[in-house]
């Protein structure tokens, strides 16, 4: 994504979710007026939308940080993640072995 567009979108998202309670309340009213639905459903949908906006903002921030990060750091992080994944897989195998042993005991 274009860095300027990314920055603008992150800024707009930050402003939109700054007062989450007011956003959810207003969205709930708009939902109720527009669809004729009940206010509680509108608030639930507003909460879901606010959560999605928070997630998108976080993802865009990570994307922007990753672009600025030196390639060497990216490789180090990737290697650390791969080691962590291997350790988690190994732990999962060990736990499965323990479970099997526990099931086989009389």
Are residues 76 and 63 located together in one domain of the fold?
no
| Domain that residue 4 falls in | 1-68
Q: State in Å, rounded, how far the first CA of the chain is from the last one.
A: 60
What's the predicted TM-score (pTM) here? 0.55
Are residues 6 and 34 located together in one domain of the fold?
yes
- Per-residue pLDDT of 63-91, as tens digits, reads 888 888 888 888 898 899 999 999 999 99
Measured CA to CA, the distance from residue 46 to residue 27 in angstroms comes to: 5
The sign of the CA dihedral 14, 20, 26, 31 is: positive
Measured CA to CA, the distance from residue 32 to residue 38 in angstroms comes to: 6
Are residues 64 and 75 located together in one domain of the fold?
no
Are residues 24 and 41 located together in one domain of the fold?
yes
Are 61 and 67 in contact by the 8 Å Cβ rule? The answer is no
- Per-residue pLDDT of 13-57, as tens digits, reads 777 777 888 888 888 888 888 888 888 888 898 888 888 888 888
């Amino acid at each position: 994504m274009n860095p300027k567009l990314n920055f603008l979108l992150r800024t707009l998202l930050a402003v939109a979710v700054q007062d989450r309670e007011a956003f959810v309340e207003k969205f709930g009213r708009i939902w109720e007026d527009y669809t004729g639905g009940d206010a509680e459903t509108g608030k639930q949908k507003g909460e879901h939308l606010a959560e999605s906006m928070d997630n998108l903002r976080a993802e865009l921030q990570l994307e922007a940080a990753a672009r600025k990060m030196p390639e060497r750091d990216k490789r180090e992080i990737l290697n650390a993640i791969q080691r962590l994944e291997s350790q988690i897989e190994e732990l999962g195998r060990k736990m499965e072995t323990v479970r099997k042993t526990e099931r086989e005991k009389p």
